Amino acid sequence: MPSDYAIETEGLTKIFRNFWSGAEFVAVDGISLRVRRGTTFGLLGPNGAGKTTFVKMLLSAAHATKGRALIFGQDGRDPSARQPIGYLPENHRFPTYLTGAGMLDFYGALSGLDGAARKRRIPELLALTGLEKWGDVRLGKYSKGMLQRVGLAQALMHEPALLILDEPSDGVDPIGRRQIRDMLHALEERGVTVFLNSHLLAEVEAFCRDVAIIHRGKLAVQGEVRDLTAGSGYRVKAEHVPERLAAELTATGAALFAGAGAQNGFREFQFGTREAANRSVDLLRSESCEIESVIRTASTLEEVFMRTVDGK
């Protein structure tokens, strides 16, 4: 029976040992996670958290010290398990003497595509990535953003079921990032699983359904973006708020009160709970203040990330 998961890891661990001193460094520490088929998954973490090492173990480019990784239910160490994977590394180096079309033909052959299939796929992918006029130009003349897009094209040559991308928007302008995001959404609609490793948290929040945050080699957080960024407080906006009342709300809010600000005659108050927000509305109305709005606020993925990394 086919697995419901594109990626499953169980206690995946990587320990590096210094040859001379014998000292050990745990880069990845017992990570167990699951990535559902056909979903968009973002892997996050600060520099040195172990993200790249984790991805290398998925691809068997690095051997796990402990644990295992399954790709569509198959042991990731089996070469056949890597056949349905398309991969774009962060610091890729393509032969600059090749043209865009020539590079795609070369990597398509490495992926096992026959000549007819490569001839069909190359113009499709050049058009998909907006490089149809650059197919006969050598890669040495490509900009960094263009190299990212042709790199994405090579990862898609053999129509993979799982696409692993390491910083795919690196060096790409905002328009190009939007184009890449639209392409990846189209792949998701076709059932392709997209596993994204990126430092652009806003991009991950806009694109990915599920995320995991790795910190110091360990899995710190995993879940759906909408759940992790769910409402975390309430903002009350009111007009004609006396200074005395504003000070009272600030003083009595204690641990529930997060902050306040004034702009264009309005004051905004941020509260941590619904009860505190309701209490503030009652007080404001008792003073004949005009309530402009009561809005439930949510965290951004960046705020979730910083709380996780800072331990708050």
pLDDT of residue 263: 59
The pLDDT, as a whole number, for residue 240 is 87
Residue 60 · residue 2 · CB < 8 Å: no
How far is the C-alpha of 120 from the C-alpha of 106, rounded, in Å? 14
Q: Band the pLDDT of 254: cuts 50, 70, 90.
A: very low
Query: Looking at residue 258, what is its pLDDT?
Result: 38
Regarding pTM above 0.85, the answer is no
Query: The domain 5-228 is classified under which CATH number: 3.30.1330.10, 3.40.50.11900, 3.40.228.10, 3.40.50.300?
Result: 3.40.50.300
SS3 of 62, please?
Answer: coil
Q: Which of 157, 149, 214 is nearest to 183 (CA)?
A: 149
Domain boundaries, the chain: 5-228, 231-310
* Token couple for 72: 């569509």
- 231-310 in CATH: which number? 3.30.70.80
pLDDT above 80 for 183: yes
Residue 246: pLDDT over 50:
yes
Residue 14, classed as helix, strand or coil, is: strand
